[in-house]
Chain A
Amino acid sequence: MFEYRFEDLNHATVLSLSGELTLDEAISDLRNVLLEKLSHADNIVINLDGIKAIDLSVLQLFCSAHRMALTSGKSLSLSSYPTLFMKAVRNVGLSSLVCRNDIWRAECLWPELSMLPGEN
């Protein structure tokens, strides 16, 4: 199970997530929370420092939220890339290199990871 907490700072709304961010019915809550916040806040920063696990169902959710933010001229970003998160991203083969186009890649949610084996 996971928990979330919002904190409104001057220029950004920080969403701190903790616990296990894995495929679960509870992920629907995360989706709804993000959807709701995106309609109010202009700048959302997700903090993943407290997570114990994250899987591809949540990664694709972040990607979707990021896409939503960009299309409505808002900003959504990650405050840091914890080791656990990097491991999951690498495992499923995500990287800023696969983003739709140059404009988006510039602010892609994912770190730029080389695909070649042995390089990461």
Chain B
Amino acid sequence: MAGFEGFEDRHKEVFREEARELLSELEGSLLELEEDPENTELIERIFRAMHTIKGSGAMAGFDEIVSFTHELETAFDLVRDKKVPVTKELIGITLTSRDILRDMLEGTAGSSAGQAAQEIISNLKHIIPEFPCSGSKKVQPHGINEKALCLPGEEKALTYRIRFRPNQDIFKIGTNPSFLIDELRALGDCMVIAQIDSIPVLSEFDFEACYLYWDFILTTSHGVNAIKDVFIFVENSSELKIEVIDDGLSQSPDYKKIGEILLEKGDVSAEDLRKALRQRRNIGSIMVESGLVEQGKLTSALAEQQYIREKRKQFKEAEAAASVRVPSRKLDVLADLVGELVTLQARLNQFSLTENDSELVAIAEGVERLTDDLRENIMSVRLIPISTVFSKLKRVVRDLSSELGKEIELEIEGGETELDKSLIEKISDPLMHIIRNSIDHGIEPPAGREALGKPRKGTIILHVFHSGASVLIQVRDDGKGLDAEAIRTKAIDKGLIPPGVEIEGKDIYQLIFASGLSTANEVTKISGRGVGMDVVRKNIDALRGTVEVESWKGKGTCVTIRVPLTLAIIDGLLVKIADDHFVIPLSIVEECVELTRSETVGTNSRHIANVRGEIIPYIDLRDIFGIGGTPPEIEQIVITQTDGRKVGFLVDSVVGETQTVIKALGSTFKKVDWISGATILGDGTVALIIAASHIMKLWEEQGAQRTACKAE
């Protein structure tokens, strides 16, 4: 409240003079009242004197006088309302009060005045049982402009939509809305759209009425209360609606559709909107032409759309200006270096523990913390929204569907989901393949769909979302679904499953990922060459991901791809077989159980373990990797879950969790399916990373004994 001090000084003396007069008037009135206790005129005068001392005293900064007078005023308010009688005692107390007030005013009594005032107040409460126990009421400064006095800038800028429809009588209470509009404009970027549909023809025009009303779009950081303050004196008599329509966070340059805006604002009914939408033309002009909405309302909605888009563009540009472009190769190098650091740090940790030096341990811990932070930051730099590949997909859907004479809409959910850049590059092709398949084999031709009672237009939904340390990408279509029988026949035909072996449910659909299987009767140039889905699986396996398919006959198919958030570093479980180390990705590990020799069921490399009554097949990695030596008496089974199935891996011992940087294997190992990479451990030794799903496939392909297992 700058300037308030000087302001007070200018007025303190004037108030003193005025208060002296009022106090002597008060004394005279009180003495008169003693003679004539029923005289309401006198009571009124006493009350008014107190009221004026209080109000003007507050303005001039006499706080002590204000709070004391407030109590006296309260007492005389009760007298005025005839709730308290005028007694000699009351008058006596009030006269003493008047003297105390004079002392306070002249500043002659010092702190004793305050004490005397307190006594008076308790006396008053004593003789007036009705006295409210509010105590000395704090006189707060008026708050209308408090917001404006606060420093702006701290609060975030939001964009509001405001509909202000003043009462037609607003002129008659001395208010001209254009000043309120000016005030709104002062709060930030503001768009003003007048609505003129209430203006009558001249013969019915009442010059005292305000027919105009307004839509505003305002971007301000002052908060909603500042907006309400603008309308404070008219809000009760007017229609005022304030909504936040943009929080400045949205990355998308798109904004709501016109129909949506009109509906939100209550300018059209849902029913009318549906009618207009059915005509499949520019819905704005349809609605105006058919009189469902006024031009002004449409203009307002259009302007809102344009405004928000413009705002978002500006925001994006501002953000872009504050960013740097770096070739992604540089980021890869950086990520590699951080990987080396992680490895070195693990060695440091191990070393520090064996040295038993507390200072070294502290240093190692510090390095670990920093390395973790560094790693996370590098990873986040490499993350980009998956929507970057979507425009390519949209194009494919558009081109393919028109080529095939199909009507297909691609809906995308979760396009803002972020993924490692290199992962996005690698996921793009498999994703394209799956979508091609949906378009070609899944979605029926329009006529066929109509015959089935489905909408002409088919839908492919692409849904991306996070789930733990993975990202799930689902492609769902509402087409005809997979034909389980056709797949079975084909699979038997191709020798993928021995005749007579029962494969059911989900498992049958998984067969579409086997190489050489295509159920399309005719080979089209888009898909159906029998390669494709197996390539999809290979690609996703290479990303340490999984792919699953579900299907409902006549209703559609859903392919789910699960990939880890990042490629460069994984959390793994370090296990040991003889002197060799292996890493199993932690994301698929369910639990570890001990296996004693005596518990072994089954023979050779196909084993079954009984885990709390559940029969789980396990694979002996010693066999798979051809490691010699004798296993220990007690071995460990690491139970994993992939593609919805549980499989255990038999190892000698479990070392513990580890964070590892994946090193690609040289081309020599390209053919080794069951290893997805290698990593260097803290002590410098190399550990191989197990490609669990491949090993399982390998294991399955080695014989169809699973059915035999199930029978047990």
Contacts and interface: CB of A to CB of B under 8 A. Distances in A.
A and B touch in the complex (CB under 8 A): yes
Interface of A: 23, 27-28, 30-31, 34-35, 38, 55-57, 59-61, 63-65, 67-68, 71, 88, 91-95, 97-101, 105, 115-118
Given A55-B178, A56-B212, A99 B189 contact: no
A100 B299 CA distance: 10
Interface stretch (B54-62, B122-130, B191-199, B400-408): B191-199
28 contacts: A27-B207, A30-B207, A35-B202, A56-B176, A59-B212, A60-B196, A60-B210, A61-B202, A61-B205, A64-B211, A67-B199, A67-B202, A91-B178, A92-B214, A93-B181, A93-B191, A93-B193, A95-B193, A99-B295, A100-B196, A100-B294, A101-B288, A101-B289, A115-B193, A115-B306, A116-B303, A116-B306, A116-B307
Interface string B201-216: 1110101001110100
Interface in B142-188: 171, 176-178, 181-182
Contacts of A105: 295
Nearest to B297: A98
B210 A94 contact: no
B202 A65 contact: yes
B192 A92 contact: yes
A115 to B, nearest CB: 4
A13 B517 CA distance: 87
Interface of B is mostly: mixed
A55 B176 CA distance: 9
Given A57-B171, A60-B199, A98-B295, A93 B207 contact: no
**Nearest 4 interchain pairs by C-beta:** A93-B192, A98-B296, A68-B202, A93-B194
Contacts of A68: 201-203
Nearest to A69: B202
B203 to A, nearest CB: 6
A23 B195 CA distance: 19
Interface residues of B, number: 37
Nearest to B304: A115
Given A23-B176, A63-B199, A92 B289 contact: no
Chain A CB within 10 A, most for which of B177, B201, B289: B201
A57 B307 contact: no
A34 B196 contact: no
Contacts of B189: 117-118
Contacts of A117: 189-191, 307
A63 B196 contact: yes
B310 interface: yes
Contacts of A60: 196, 199, 210-212
Interface in B201-248: 201-203, 205, 207, 210-212, 214
B205 A31 contact: yes
Interface of A is mostly: helix
A67 B201 contact: yes
Given A64-B205, A116-B310, A99 B177 contact: no
B619 to A, nearest CB: 66
Contact of B212 (A67, A88, A92, A118): A92
A71 B201 contact: yes
Contacts of B195: 98
A7 B239 CA distance: 43
B165 to A, nearest CB: 13
Contacts of A91: 178, 181-182, 192
B607 to A, nearest CB: 72
Chain A CB within 10 A, most for which of B197, B199, B214, B300: B199
Given A116-B191, A117-B189, A98 B299 contact: yes
Contacts of A101: 288-289, 295
Nearest to A39: B203
B628 interface: no
Contacts of A35: 202-203
B200 interface: yes
Chain B CB within 10 A, most for which of A65, A101, A115: A115
A116 to B, nearest CB: 6
A95 B295 CA distance: 11
Contacts of B288: 101
Contacts of B214: 92-93
B306 to A, nearest CB: 6
A7 B288 CA distance: 39
Given A65-B205, A67-B199, 9 more contacts: A57-B210, A60-B212, A64-B202, A91-B182, A92-B212, A100-B296, A115-B193, A115-B299, A117-B189
Contact of B207 (A28, A59, A98, A116): A28
Contacts of B176: 23, 55-57
Contacts of B190: 117
Contacts of A71: 201
B178 A64 contact: no
A23 B212 CA distance: 14
B207 A57 contact: yes
Contacts of A38: 202
A65 B196 CA distance: 13
Nearest to A71: B201
A55 B182 CA distance: 13
A98 B198 CA distance: 12
Contacts of A97: 295, 299, 303
B191 A115 contact: yes
B248 to A, nearest CB: 16
Nearest to A31: B207
A97 to B, nearest CB: 5
Contact of B197 (A31, A100, A116): A100
Contacts of B211: 60, 64
A68 B214 CA distance: 23
Contact of B193 (A59, A67, A98, A100): A98
B201 A64 contact: yes
A74 to B, nearest CB: 11
A111 B496 CA distance: 76
B295 A92 contact: no
Contacts of A115: 191-193, 299, 303, 306-307
